Each structure stands twice: as C-alpha cells, then as structure tokens.
Amino acid sequence: MNLQMEMEHHRQVLIVRFIGELDHHTADQVRMKLDEAIHSQQTNHIVLSLKDLQFMDSSGIGVILGRYKLIKSKGGKMAVCDATPPVFRLLEMSGLFKIMPIYESESDALSSLEVVS
C-alpha cells in the first residue's frame, strides 16, 4: 500500500496527516517532504495526525524521531494525535511518548501548543 500525506500550516504549526502505511518503502520520501516543509515555511511546531495511518514500522519511528530532533533544535514542540491502536502500541513500545505527548484530536494537540485561533 502507498502512503498519502496531507500537510497544512496553521499559524506556525505544520499539521501532517498520514493516510496508508509509513514504512521503509515510504520513509525517505516522507523525510524529504517534511524537511522541505519545515525549512521553507515558518514552522515552529509539528502535529502528526495518525488516525488514517494503518501501519508503521521502525523506519517510520526513525522519521518521527528525526523530525522531533529538528523541530526541538529550533525551540519547537511536536505532538501526535489520533493514533490507531496498532500504531499507538508501536509508539508506546518505542518510548516515543516519553519525549512527546499524544492527544485524542488535532484540536487538542493544537490547544496544547497554544496556537488555537
């Protein structure tokens, strides 16, 4: 299966919605697109919406961690929202929630970053 990625800027937050599978086949493309969006726009924070992400492997975790480090180096924050149960379990087992929060919805994640309009 392929991966679709929708990106939207809301103030200085990049909202990324994944649809499909984030794995070793799609990780490099996702990494490049996110890095380009982070550097070309005024992006201080990232919200990853995972409600339509059906599968993720360790390559996906690597992409997320790399973007977390990048946005953190800019003084920003990153949050995850709407994770499906299998993706949530993978993120939990990886220890990702020790460094970034997870929220039930995009609006909750945006509120946590204090950028709600």
The domain spans of the chain are 3-110
Say whether pLDDT at 117 is over 50. no
Q: Say if residue 115's pLDDT is above 80.
A: no
Give 60-94 pLDDT, tens digit per residue: 999 999 999 999 999 999 999 999 999 999 999 99
CATH of domain 3-110: 3.30.750.24
In this prediction, residue 10 has a pLDDT band, given cuts at 50, 70 and 90, of: confident
Phi-psi region of 54 (alpha: psi -120 to 50; beta: other; left: phi over 0): alpha
Q: What is the pTM of this model?
A: 0.92
Residue 80, CB-side half-sphere exposure with 13 Å CA sphere: 24
Give per-residue pLDDT as tens, 65-74: 999 999 999 9
Per the prediction, the chain carries an average pLDDT of 93
Residue 59 has pLDDT above 60, yes or no: yes
